[in-house]
Structure 1
Amino acid sequence: MPIQVAITVEELNALLAIRDAYGLLQREHEEARSVLRLVTAERDLAEERLRTYRRELFGAKSEARNLEQPDLFNEAEALGATAIPAQEDTQETAVAAHARKKRGHRKPLDLNLPREFVRHELPEAERFCNHDGQALVEIGIETSEQLDVIPEQLRVIQHQRVKYACPCCDLGIKVTPAPLRIIPRGLLSESALAWIATGKYQFGMPLYRQAGLLRRFGGDISSNTIAASMVRVGLASQPVINLMRDALLDAELIYCDETTLQVLKEEGRRPQTTSYLWAQMTGSGVPIRCFTYTPGRGTRLADRLFTGIREGAVMMTDGYEPYNDIARRHHLVHLGCWVHVRRYFVKAEGTVPKAARTPDLLATRFIRLIGKLFAAEARSETWSPQRRQRLRRRYSAHVLEVVHTLMLEQSSGIVPKSLLGNGLTYLRAQWPKLIRYVENGCWPISNNPCENAIRPFCVGRRGWLFSDTVDGANASANLYSLVETCKANGIDPYRYLYWLFQRLPLAKTVDDYDALLPWKMLAD
């Protein structure tokens, strides 16, 4: 039978007090542990941000990595039972040996360049043999070539309009009409305008530097005059830009990206307000590059860029949310960019000290898997779309399954606000768009081509920094569109702009402007 212990009321109250105190201590201990975990997580995030800032300031900017191409199709361990060992197209997996560039051989100069021949001869007193004193005879020449530069030469074109008068009266005076110019009564010729435009929009030279360069050769023209001329010719080319945009929106595949731009004088906006320049380019048909200025980057403004796009077209973008609304509104096939996904994990890996990096690091595992996707694309770059489609279906689809499984397994254990957590969040949100490229051999895996097209603008922006007015921003967008479209079509931008500026004043109808499109100059 149980033993009964008699205790007094005072003793019972003391035991209850001890129990309550112990419970309070336990709760305080749990709260302290929760606070410690929170503080530890915040400390780790702060250290990660510090390492990120240091890497952005002092670290390498390149994201290039070894894609492990020799092991591209050796995926038995990674793919496991999902791999398809049979029926593999051995012709697709054959890889030629890498041809290394020979060093020590100078590239010959262009044979089309004009050549000046300078003949070097021995003095007559030295044209005798040192052994028997006989006169030497010419048996050949040894040639070497140097590239010479003739500095810019300025000239003034003086237009003389002849005046005629009747010898019998004072009423029959006639003057030869002035030729039509892109800038009526403009100070700069079409050739000079094209030279300045290519200097800024192709080579990133600010206008004030070009003004200083012209002064070296006697052309004392202010940078304000040059800037006003660039605005005039940029806006005058708007009809051609409109036709370029119509052709772009009719393409089957379109890339799109945006970057920041500062405009100082815009009604209702402070000079420090950020504006944007959008880049759109075709991925099929005629290569076209179109740049557009907008005061913001909301859905309403972005949607204007796609007004008139063909229904069912394919659009490749980053993960910016308004692109999703545009794709739904215009019934587009929306593809996601794997380069933007990889960038998150590259940043997360970069914050880990090199001594602590191992192949099992989660960010490194994602980078390696994404690298396999890009290696497959690099391998099939010159293949037909049908053959590339077979590779994607047999290989890339299985790599995507591994990425998806790893994403689901690791998402719950990562701090959401960390760099790695941001990468996993972005990957989950973009996943339906990221895997769509496997459906068609013509669809791209990334938005890299558009980023490459917008890079000249970003490089030039470091020199000229901002646009003074909205008209200047629109003119710059137009001239960038013309220059980059010329480059994409293998046309010299200076030659095209000179050709365009001469013919623009003569154009009156839509057909006249259509004949001035960059790729139409090849048939001129």
Structure 2
Amino acid sequence: MEAEPAALPDDIEALKAALLAARADAAAARAERSDAQALIVNLRLEIEKLRRALYGQSSERGRRLLDQMELQLEELETAATEDELRAERDAAKTTQVGPFTRKRPGRKPFPDHLPRERVIVPGPTTCACCGGTRLARLGEDVTETLEAIPRRWKVIQHVREKFTCRDCERISQAPAPFHVVPRGWAGPSLLAMIAFEKFGQHQPLNRQAERYAREGVPLSLSTLTDQIGACCVVLDPLFQRLEKHVFTAERLHGDDTTVPVLARGKTDTGRCWVYVRDDRPFGHTSPPAAVFYYSRDRGGGHPQGHLASYAGILQADAFSGYGKLYEADRKPGPITEAACWAHARRKFFVLADIAESARRKAKGKTPAFVSPLALAAVRRIDALFEIERAVNGKSASERLAARQEHSAPLVADLESWMRAERAKLSRHNDVAKAMDYMLSRWPAFTQFLKDGRICLSNNAAERALRGIALGRKSWLFAGSDRGGQRAAKMYSLIVTCKMNDVDPQAWLADVLARIAGHPAHKLDELLPWNWKAGEPASHVAEAA
């Protein structure tokens, strides 16, 4: 409510005080409003996460929407803190308005494993009240502040003393320590950092070299490339064992994605293929793993070569290059095709995206057409995914029994409904094309009703490729075909570490330090799912 002019004081100092109080009130109101907005978005985000945890992903855009909500929350929280500090500053200028304090959730204590550094603030030597000097220690209050120390570089000197024999005058000396690179200079932790930054964090070597130079350690690009090449050679035996483990699986997930490759005067488009072994959905205890391969094109000969010795179940999209793998007379045996229901659902979902249509309408654009048939198909397929969420992690026999009881009737009803509706549509209709995609491959789509090991979707392979899809924006392109092949091997090891909840950089550092002296017949002990951090590779004596 605005004050009447007659009620305002005539004194200038009083007017200044009133103005300061009004400003403080306004600042407190802004801070309170910002806090409320942040709280609303935070609660919406938590509700959406709980809904997804209970009912699964409701749409292909769900993950992106969560990311957008988290970004919005970040911005609102930042704005709320700014407004709170401004309100405190304005309130400090007047005694008439109390400061606004945001209601924050209790902060979790810092992890116990972090080292603590005590900084003692000297206590008073005299009483602040009476000036007396007879003070007795009552206790202490500890305020913890989390701090980060910039990366520290050091040079480790391996000192090998020489001894000469007084009898034969022969010189004796301990052998030189092993380096990953012959006559190398980089320690295993540094090599692991360089490799993980390049392949795990998608930071090209030229950017790494620039950052190291700013930290006072100039390392040339050619020097860093030498280290990467040496690491790939040393880790190759582990990649071969990983490859063997993946292709002894009963079921594989397969997929591929584009990889820009630098060519003469232009950029070509290569492919990165992945094959994932993940038996956890049907209760198997075999560790999950992924193997990546690189090729210059998407010819069908590549997956046929990758899977030349494999016989089992392959869950993949409808790529024609897989066709020869499913032939009955194939050696060493046919591969069973299992189609991905998530791919099929996506084709209908695009035509039934009500949310996208509403967004276009809100922006003043022509709303996208929402097909009732596509919407009905999405709902029928979602019912199957709901059943799958209930049996995830159970044994293959339990999954098969539940599918025969609950899923089989829904699949039969879906087929009859699609065939009846398809007969009424033109072959040029988009919904008809989505139906044809499924109906022409119906045996592959219904294979999950015959085998409890099969998943309803190929999401395991898509998750494995997600890092490459995100990294393309950082590294722009692979430098050559050889570079693509090296990257594929390193992706295999890093992604497998993540699938087994192992820190890839810690694993790389430890394995590079130990692999030279590790028995060849025990290399399986160094695979991510068997790995246990070893003792330090050497004990360094500090110079006096």
Output the TM-score relative to the length of structure 2.
Answer: 0.68
Contact preservation (8 Å) 1:235, 1:478:
no
Output the CA distance in 1 between the equivalents of 2:453 and 2:155.
52
Residue in 2 that maps onto 1:281: 276
Q: Secondary structure at the match of 2:318?
A: coil
For residues 405-441 of structure 1, give each alpha carbon's deviation from its aligned partner in whole angstroms, at most 9, with x where no partner exists.
Answer: 2321222444545543432222223321111112233
CA offset at residue 317 of structure 1?
Answer: 0.9
Aligned pairs (5 A) from 1:141-180 = 143=142, 145-160=144-159, 177-180=175-178
Q: Secondary structure at the match of 2:287?
A: coil
**Are positions 1:446 and 2:457 aligned together?**
yes
Residue in 2 that maps onto 1:520: 530
Change (3 A) 1:255 1:443: same
Letter in 1 for 2:324: D
Residue in 1 that maps onto 2:115: 114
Contact preservation (8 Å) 2:352, 2:371:
no
Output the CA distance in 1 between the equivalents of 2:227 and 2:425.
56
Residue in 2 that maps onto 1:302: 303
Q: Secondary structure at the match of 2:218?
A: coil
**Are positions 1:399 and 2:426 aligned together?**
no
Letter in 1 for 2:344: V
Letter in 1 for 2:151: E
Aligned residues: 420
For residues 228-268 of structure 1, give each alpha carbon's deviation from its aligned partner in whole angstroms, at most 9, with x where no partner exists.
Answer: 32133123322221111111111112111111123325xxx
Residue in 1 that maps onto 2:182: 184
Letter in 1 for 2:224: I
Residue in 1 that maps onto 2:41: none
Aligned pairs (5 A) from 1:14-413 = 104-118=105-119, 123-125=124-126, 128=129, 143=142, 145-160=144-159, 177-264=175-262, 271-284=266-279, 285-309=286-310, 311=311, 313-328=312-327, 329=330, 330-350=333-353, 353-354=357-358, 361-413=372-424
**Are positions 1:502 and 2:500 aligned together?**
no
CA offset at residue 387 of structure 1?
Answer: 3.8
Output the CA distance in 1 between the equivalents of 2:375 and 2:423.
18
Residue in 1 that maps onto 2:83: none
Contact preservation (8 Å) 1:193, 1:229:
yes
Q: Secondary structure at the match of 2:180?
A: coil
Output the CA distance in 2 between the equivalents of 1:191 and 1:346.
47
Unaligned runs of 5+ in 2: 1-48, 56-103, 280-285, 362-366, 535-544
Output the CA distance in 1 between the equivalents of 2:435 and 2:314.
23
Letter in 2 for 1:475: R
Output the CA distance in 1 between the equivalents of 2:346 and 2:221.
40
Letter in 1 for 2:228: M
CA offset at residue 469 of structure 1?
Answer: 2.3
Letter in 2 for 1:110: P
Change (3 A) 1:68 1:403: farther
CA offset at residue 108 of structure 1?
Answer: 3.7
Output the CA distance in 1 between the equivalents of 2:134 and 2:429.
85
Output the CA distance in 2 between the equivalents of 1:367 and 1:296.
33
Output the CA distance in 2 between the equivalents of 1:395 and 1:108.
47
Q: Secondary structure at the match of 1:272?
A: strand
Output the CA distance in 2 between the equivalents of 1:152 and 1:163.
35
For residues 294-330 of structure 1, give each alpha carbon's deviation from its aligned partner in whole angstroms, at most 9, with x where no partner exists.
Answer: 2223222211211322x3x222111112223223333
CA offset at residue 138 of structure 1?
Answer: 6.1
CA offset at residue 398 of structure 1?
Answer: 2.1
When structure 1 is superposed on structure 2, of 295-304 and 352-361 the one drifting more is: 352-361
Output the CA distance in 2 between the equivalents of 1:319 and 1:391.
27
Change (3 A) 1:222 1:126: farther
Letter in 1 for 2:212: L
Contact preservation (8 Å) 1:195, 1:494:
yes
Output the CA distance in 2 between the equivalents of 1:275 and 1:411.
37
Letter in 1 for 2:345: R
Output the CA distance in 2 between the equivalents of 1:119 and 1:437.
66
For residues 67-103 of structure 1, give each alpha carbon's deviation from its aligned partner in whole angstroms, at most 9, with x where no partner exists.
Answer: 9988xxxxxxxxxxxxxxxxxxxxxxxxxxxxxxxx9
Output the CA distance in 2 between the equivalents of 1:523 and 1:153.
22
Q: Secondary structure at the match of 2:531?
A: helix
Change (3 A) 1:126 1:418: farther
CA offset at residue 224 of structure 1?
Answer: 3.5
Letter in 2 for 1:318: D
Residue in 2 that maps onto 1:99: none
Output the CA distance in 2 between the equivalents of 1:207 and 1:282.
31
Q: Secondary structure at the match of 1:518?
A: coil
CA offset at residue 106 of structure 1?
Answer: 3.4
Output the CA distance in 2 between the equivalents of 1:486 and 1:68.
24
Letter in 2 for 1:516: L
Contact preservation (8 Å) 1:318, 1:337:
yes
Contact preservation (8 Å) 1:235, 1:475:
no
Output the CA distance in 1 between the equivalents of 2:260 and 2:218.
29
Aligned residue among 456, 475, 481 for 2:467: 456
Output the TM-score relative to the length of structure 1.
Answer: 0.70
Contact preservation (8 Å) 2:254, 2:314:
yes
Output the CA distance in 1 between the equivalents of 2:265 and 2:412.
49
Computing the radius of gyration from Cα coordinates, the structure with the larger value is 1
Unaligned runs of 5+ in 1: 1-63, 71-102
Output the CA distance in 2 between the equivalents of 1:417 and 1:300.
32
CA offset at residue 152 of structure 1?
Answer: 0.7
CA offset at residue 282 of structure 1?
Answer: 0.6
Change (3 A) 1:360 1:211: closer
CA offset at residue 137 of structure 1?
Answer: 6.7
Q: Secondary structure at the match of 1:218?
A: coil
Output the CA distance in 2 between the equivalents of 1:381 and 1:105.
35
Residue in 1 that maps onto 2:439: 428
Output the CA distance in 2 between the equivalents of 1:374 and 1:517.
34
Q: Secondary structure at the match of 1:233?
A: helix
Ranked by relative contact order (alpha carbons within 8 Å, sequence separation 6 or more), the top structure is 1
Letter in 1 for 2:532: L
